[in-house]
Every structure is written in C-alpha cells, then in structure tokens.
Amino acid sequence: MRILVLGAGGQLGGLLARRCGELNIPCVALSRAELDITDGRKLAGWIDDACPDVLVNAAAYTDVEAAEDCEAEAARINAEALRTIGTLCRDKAVPVIHISTDFVYDGKKMDEYLETDEAVPLNAYGRSKLAGDRLLSERADRYIILRLSWLFARGGRNFVAAVLGRMMRGMSLSVVDDQVGGPTYAGDASSCILEICRRICADGGFSSWGVYHYAGKPDVSRYEFAEFIAEAALKAGIVSARPAIAPVSSSGFPSKVVRPRNSRLNVDKIRRVFGIGPSDWKGEILRHIGDYAMR
Ligand SMILES: NC(=O)c1ccc[n+]([C@@H]2O[C@H](COP(=O)([O-])OP(=O)(O)OC[C@H]3O[C@@H](n4cnc5c(N)ncnc54)[C@H](OP(=O)(O)O)[C@@H]3O)[C@@H](O)[C@H]2O)c1
C-alpha cells in the first residue's frame, strides 16, 4: 500500500505522514511548499511519480476567522482544488480520502448529525468546505469524505494548546458553554485514515464509498473541554493551582464568524463499515498534556 498525502505541513497531514514512517508504510508526503494543491499540472505530475494506491487530501484553508474576509481564496483552496483532485484521481484510477469538517452543518439539530443530514454551513469556511465535498463527489468515482470535528495534535495550534498556554501564564479564562462537539485527536484520526486505506487496498471489491463522520466521544461543551484540560494539567503538575474558568455564551464573545452550536457527529456508520471506534480524546490529554505546552 502506497499513500500520497497532501497538506503534510499541517496538524493532521504531518501526523499521518509520521505514522506512515513509524509503520513502514510507503508514503509520499507533500507540504504546501512542495505542492500547492491549486496547481493541477504539478499535482498530476506528483500522482504520476508517486503512483499511489490512495491519495489523502489533508490540505485546506483552515483559518475560520480570515475566511470571512477572504472567501474567494478559501474557495480556491477548499473547493476549486477539489474539482481538479477529483478529476485527476478519476482519470488516473486513484481512490481519494478527503478531509472535511463539522462546520458544513448549521448546528441547529437537537441530536447528533448523521451523514445523510442536510449540510447548511453558517460561515465562509463551512461554505468553502461543503463546496469542496460536492465538487469532489461530482468528479471522483471512488472517494471517502471524512468529516472531523474539533481536531487537535501535539505541537499544533489548537484549542488544547491555547487553553493550556493561558493557564500556564496564570491568565483567566472565559470559555463558551453553548457550543458542543466531539474533540478529536489527530493521531486517532490518522489511524482511522490508515485503516480506511488498508481496507480499500485489501478489498478489491470495496464499494462503500461516500461520506463518513469521525470524532471523539464523549461530546462536551467547549467549557467542559477546558475544564478537563485544567484538571489534567493540575494532575500532571503543569499548573500548581486550579485555574478559574468562566462559562460564557457565544453571544458574549464578539466574532465575525457564526459557529455551529451543535457539532456532535454520529459515528455509527464508520464503526459499522470499518470497525473504527471514536477518538479517545480524554486518554490522549491525560497521557500527553505536557506535550501541548507551547514551546
Ligand atoms: N482544525 C480543526 O479543528 C478541524 C476540525 C474539523 C475538520 N478539520 C479539517 O481537517 C483537515 C486538516 O486540518 P488541520 O487542523 O490539520 O489544518 P492545518 O494544521 O491548518 O493544516 C492544513 C495544511 O494545509 C496547507 N495548505 C493550505 N493551503 C494549501 C494549498 N493551496 N496547497 C497545499 N497545502 C495547503 C497549510 O499550509 P500553510 O499553513 O502553509 O497555509 C497547512 O499545512 C482540514 O481539511 C480541515 O478542514 C479541521
């Protein structure tokens, strides 16, 4: 099995490439400097050179705030590039795993989101990602769209690192308690992607293409997530006193981005089809909280 990873300079793409190295899985991993995914001609060349059994696209415009002012640029990377990736992969007979997001949903559902629920994004980033999902599904014939939520990894810029950083500097914290979702450790997401790759390659008749959710359980509010990080930091001796965290509502947090209140993803389908269980986000934080301290 040979994998081509796009976006290898990011949290998920970087971890996936490292995991391939650890497991001796042949992998060509390209950062933005090596391949801009909007460059179709260069991408075609890389696919020809790498001869992958599966292409994984973890590259994306992920700055949710900036996307509000730069929607055209977000769309160029998150949507238009997927038209090219889908067409090239179909023509070159390469299956694609494309990473998407809970932000395609409006968060107004009272229950967990199913893959069959209508996607109605609330913001520019979500619109660009949903457009990419649609363009890929129109062009590619063998594709998996993997929608993740609240991704974090050691050494990355993410909620865990940001909260821990403030606690370590003795700063007070206010965290929204009306946005709920499943934190997802990028290492678990990498294992999930590799298991899907393995199944695609091992099963010549694989036909379960389409959209899947993958996320951590249990679901929590952002406030509960921060409380858990604080508890873990205290237990690990990273902070000496329990930091005060104030629960606040989203309306008290001025932002140009409207975020979904409910990001809870139902993950039954991925367990049923691939036997993959949810990310153990609590275990990752308890075991490795020290590695999230910003250097
Ligand atoms: N982070 C989350 O909470 C979250 C939640 C749900 C889903 N997701 C999805 O998960 C995937 C991975 O996210 P992540 O957290 O790993 O993001 P990340 O750390 O921001 O990584 C994205 C990578 O894509 C690269 N990139 C941007 N534009 C590119 C282009 N035109 N060509 C090639 N590479 C380009 C970025 O490079 P530069 O840094 O140089 O721009 C960066 O290295 C994305 O599809 C994202 O939408 C993320």
> Which residues have CB under 8 Å from 53's CB, separation 6+?
1, 2, 3, 94, 95, 197, 200, 201
Which of 12, 128, 184 gets mutated to test ligand 1 (max ligand atoms within 8 A of its CB)? 12
Can you tell me the mean pLDDT for 290-294?
84
pLDDT of residue 254: 79
Task: Give this prediction's pTM.
Answer: 0.97
DSSP 123-183: SHHHHHHHHHHHHHHHH-SSEEEEEE-SEE-TTSSSHHHHHHHHHHTT--EEEESS-EE--
Q: Which pair of structure tokens corresponds to residue 175?
A: 């965290």
Cα 261 to chain centroid distance, Å, stands at 18
CA atoms within 13 A on the CB side of 179: 23
Residue 7 Cα to ligand 1 middle (Å): 6
On whether the CB atoms of residues 8 and 33 are closer than 8 A, the answer is no
Domains of the chain: 3-155+184-216+264-279 (3.40.50.720)
Range of weakest confidence among 106-120, 153-167, 279-293 = 153-167
pLDDT surpassing 60 at residue 295: no
* Ligand 1 atom at shortest distance from the alpha carbon of 129: 47
Distance, CA of 16 to CA of 283 (rounded, Å): 19
- Which residues form ligand 1's pocket by a CB distance below 6 Å? 7, 9-13, 32, 36-38, 58-62, 77, 99, 101-102, 129, 148-151, 156
Q: Would you give the end-to-end CA distance of the chain in angstroms?
A: 36
pLDDT tens-digit readout, 6-29: 999 999 999 999 999 999 999 999
Helix axes 159-168, 222-235, angle to 10 degrees: 50
What spacing in Å lies between the alpha carbon of 62 and ligand 1's midpoint? 5
- d(CA 168, CA 294) in angstroms, rounded, equals 10
Q: How many residues does the chain have?
A: 295
| Annotated catalytic residue within 105, 125, 185, 214 | 125
Q: What is the pLDDT of residue 157?
A: 82
